[in-house]
A and B are shown apart, each in its own frame.
Chain A
Amino acid sequence: MYENLVYLDNAAATRLDERVLEAMKPYFFDVYAVATSQFGYSIGLDAREALDNARARIAAALGANPEEFIFTSGDTESSNLAIKGVALALGEKKGRHIITSPIEDFPVLHTVRALERQGFRATYVRVDETGRIDLDHLRESITPETILVSIQTANQEIGTLQDIRAIGEICREKGALFHTDATHAFPRVPLDVREIPVDLVTISAHTIHGPKGIGGLYIRRGTPVKKILDGGFHEFDLRPGVENIPGAVGFATAVELVTPEETERLRRMRDRLVERLLNEVPHTRLNGHPIYRLPHNANVSFRFVEGESLLLHLDMRGFAVSTGSACFSRSLEASHVILGIGGDHERAHGSVRFTFGRYNQEEDVDRVVEAVAEIVRELRRISPLGKE
């Protein structure tokens, strides 16, 4: 149906890998039972085994023990559970202060805001113009009442990577728990919880050619987290609900299919895209950090043009990208990330995110650069800005 589509919005969702689908299929049609307790019937025990196995494989990729990883419906739920779960466990006992950054993705940002409305206090740690957080500001913001620091591993829009090892060490030293949203990083940017002092990690399958509707949360042994949904005793009594076993199996398979070689291939395409856009389209700038950034992410602002128009013209020519323009957002608000790193509204409106995935080819880069250059030229011709 979309055979000529050049899909460059892999941060939003990815095409499912056929190998993932094949791995999932038996759990729709053959082993479709719920994962029963160890005293259940055979088909339920087989389902249990598949779930445990998927859990162990993802835990291994994180350097974690299987019982430290639970499945959720995706990164939104994982981050809600991490943050609200710690708030429920420690709000009364320790304190009601949480630290995060102004450029987090909505699952973290809006969860923290929801807690603020319930009387928690939040500090938004400063970020520089590339999106890296100010470590000194973080250190001085942690008080004895601080129950949790939630800082992403990589930014969803501009791809900036944080120094999560340094952040984790500061949190350890000052006695605060540390949650990181690694939805856009894991496993392309490896994260090993034996090396990084982190207590909670949000991950999701939808960004790595796995199925939508499955994600997970790493919870270091002993971390105080209370469940936020009430129901049965699934997932170590932290996340009730019938387990999504096909999803879990698909997620584990998707994690294993990501290789450093593939990620390197995406990085080369990304680098060439950035180089060509910056060289060939005037009044263009890269948003985010030039080095500390996701290997498959490019985010570029084109001055004097508005992103939704650019996106729509690209769509008509068979390209899918994303923009931080207010006109494109569901709430008509410009990207909080571009504004958060000190960019103005115009830079946010003219920002376009290109994210590569497994099914992109070298020639996609040249095709999209040519299309973008032409469309930007045309939109600037009709724009009242940038003429004088």
Chain B
Amino acid sequence: MPLPYSEIVMEHFRHPRNVGRIENPDAKAVEGSPACGDMVAVYLKVDPETQVITDIKFESYGCASNIATGSIITELAKGKTLEEAKRITWEEASRALGGLPPLKTHCAVLAVDGLHAAIENYEERHGLVKERQPTTVEFVRKRLKHVMNPVVGLDIVRTKLVKEIEVQDGVIRVVLDLPPDHMFAPTMKEDIEEKLGHRWDVKQVLVEFAG
């Protein structure tokens, strides 16, 4: 049986493009953490006149698809304006790699989130951001679209795993339609906490399983 990765994934894994750091970058961001086993750092150089990404580099701590998705987003974003780069989706990154196994689509999400976070970092540094957004139910739902259901490789909102979202006094409660002893319950819980726990107005993230 062949490896579950496409030729393009393997090629980027073996020879990642644009690896490393940019000295004095115009923006940078790190997504993920050693705790979740996946981490990507993105560095940007941006032309202040045209808002075009003139240089982009990444570093990766993670599996083959983490390295490959980090590599591909640098290729997708280089030469694009910030606005164009913001519209790059994980599906696009995954397609550009010839597809990812369902269990690994969260890597594409992480890499694209890393790119978007670096762009946000640029906007923050250059006074381009508006007000801080409060964490509402709608915001949580949007973020949960970045949490993958590893069974099918699509997000947990689209696959109807999210039963309930509650936001009250800085406490987010998410109820998933999964049994508590489901094999992916712990990893989804961690992923949700990771995606929302660091928000400025969030004190606690509760993930419950009611399947």
Residues of A within 8 A of B (CB): 113, 117, 304-306, 308-309, 312, 316, 325-328, 330-334, 344-346, 349, 381-385, 387
Contact = CB atoms under 8 A, between A and B. Distances in A.
Contacts of B61: 304-306, 383-385
B30 A384 contact: yes
Interface stretch (B48-56, B134-142, B181-189, B202-210): B181-189
B66 interface: yes
A371 to B, nearest CB: 14
Contact of A328 (B13, B34, B63): B63
Contacts of B181: 113, 117
A306 B38 CA distance: 8
23 contacts: A113-B181, A305-B61, A308-B62, A308-B63, A309-B13, A309-B66, A309-B67, A312-B13, A312-B64, A326-B187, A327-B37, A327-B38, A327-B63, A332-B150, A333-B187, A349-B37, A382-B20, A382-B59, A383-B59, A384-B40, A384-B41, A385-B39, A385-B61
A325 B35 contact: no
A117 B180 CA distance: 11
Interface in B60-94: 60-64, 66-67
B63 A344 contact: no
A332 B101 CA distance: 13
A341 B90 CA distance: 36
A330 B183 contact: yes
Contacts of B40: 384
Nearest to B60: A382
B63 A309 contact: yes
B16 interface: yes
A325 B30 contact: no
Interface in B93-117: 103
B165 interface: no
Contacts of A382: 16, 19-20, 59-60, 67
Contacts of A304: 61
A255 to B, nearest CB: 31
Nearest to B59: A384
A112 to B, nearest CB: 13
Contacts, number: 79
Interface string B1-44: 00100000000011010011100000000100011111111000
A328 B37 CA distance: 10
A344 B35 contact: yes
Contacts of A384: 30, 39-41, 59-61
A328 to B, nearest CB: 7
Contacts of B186: 331, 333
Contacts of B3: 312
B35 A346 contact: yes
Contacts of A309: 13, 62-64, 66-67
Contacts of A332: 103, 150, 184, 187
A312 B186 CA distance: 25
A182 B38 CA distance: 34
Contacts of A331: 183-184, 186-187
Nearest to B104: A327
Given A312-B13, A332-B187, A384-B30, A326 B59 contact: no
Contact of A308 (B20, B59, B64): B64
Contacts of B103: 332
A326 B35 CA distance: 10
Contacts of A345: 34-37
Interface string B169-211: 0000000000001011011000000000000000000000000
Contacts of B41: 384
B200 to A, nearest CB: 24
Contacts of A113: 181
A384 B58 CA distance: 8
B44 to A, nearest CB: 15
A334 B20 CA distance: 27
Given A306-B62, A309-B63, A349-B34, 8 more contacts: A113-B181, A304-B61, A305-B61, A325-B37, A327-B37, A381-B19, A384-B30, A384-B60
Contacts of B30: 384
A187 to B, nearest CB: 33
Contacts of A387: 21
Contacts of A117: 181
Nearest to B106: A332
B187 A325 contact: no
Contacts of A346: 34-35
Contacts of B67: 309, 382
Nearest to B20: A382
Contacts of A305: 61
